[in-house]
Amino acid sequence: MFDLSIFCGTSEEPRSYLHTPWIERGGVAATDGHVMVFVESPQMVSGDVKDTTPKAMIGKMDKFLDLEFSGNAHPLSGIDIPKLKCPMCEGSRFLVSTICEDCNGEGEFQHGAHWYSCQECEGDGKNHVAADKGSTNSALCPYCSGIGIKKFADSDPYVKIGEVYVAPNILTRVNTLPNAVLYVGDDPGGSVTFRFDGGRGVLMPLDMRRIKK
């Protein structure tokens, strides 16, 4: 079974229609705007799936779903992907959160006429500890929306495949798909198609002109 929630927009994504996979062309599509995955059989997808294409996405997927697999084939199993875990849940995808005792969950203190952010909880009002799935009072990590992978920052390592550069958080997710193979052409800015047992997808490489090292 495929869990496509890791390919959806996180809770920080303002386009709420990207938070859930949806039925598209008789299969199921999911995207966060950086990587798109399409599974041919809805029976192979677990979890929430919207039964119609979101209005804003109608007709938008065709150009990606019709892309040819062209360029050089790069099986993902042969690519070294830096492991960048979410710093909050340490990759476990779950957190146990407790009210901060230093500030009683307020996240700040008043001293005289001024307010100060609580150092202990960094103003959050709660302390978070990485947890295993199913442990008491654990919840999906809100920082990574339960993906377990650190969001890409310009200072993170990236992966060069042929002529393109790809963020490790995209590759880590695509690598959960069975026997994924990327197809990389000569255009460093061109979208990269991939296929896996049961479906296909497209990812956007990093724009190296705007990566500040």
> Could you list the residues that contact Zn ion (CB under 5 A)?
86, 88-89, 100, 102-103, 118, 120-121, 141, 143-144
Query: Which residue shows structure tokens 């996405």?
Result: 57
Residue with Cβ nearer Zn ion (30 or 144)? 144
At its nearest, how many Å lie between Zn ion and the CB of residue 39? 24
Residue with Cβ nearer Zn ion (124 or 163)? 124
Alpha-carbon distance 131 to 109, whole Å? 29
Residue with Cβ nearer Zn ion (70 or 98)? 98
Residue with Cβ nearer Zn ion (30 or 88)? 88
At its nearest, how many Å lie between Zn ion and the CB of residue 106? 7
**Strand (E) or helix (H) holding 159:** strand 159-161
Residue with Cβ nearer Zn ion (89 or 131)? 89
Alpha-carbon distance 30 to 34, whole Å? 11
At its nearest, how many Å lie between Zn ion and the CB of residue 120? 4
At its nearest, how many Å lie between Zn ion and the CB of residue 40? 30
At its nearest, how many Å lie between Zn ion and the CB of residue 143? 5
The answer to whether residues 53 and 23 touch, using CB atoms and an 8 Å cutoff, is yes
Number of Cβ within a 10 Å radius of residue 41:
12
Burial of 14 (0-12, 13-18, 19+ CB in 10 A): exposed
Alpha-carbon distance 40 to 26, whole Å? 7
Look up residue 213 and give its two tokens.
Answer: 């090292």
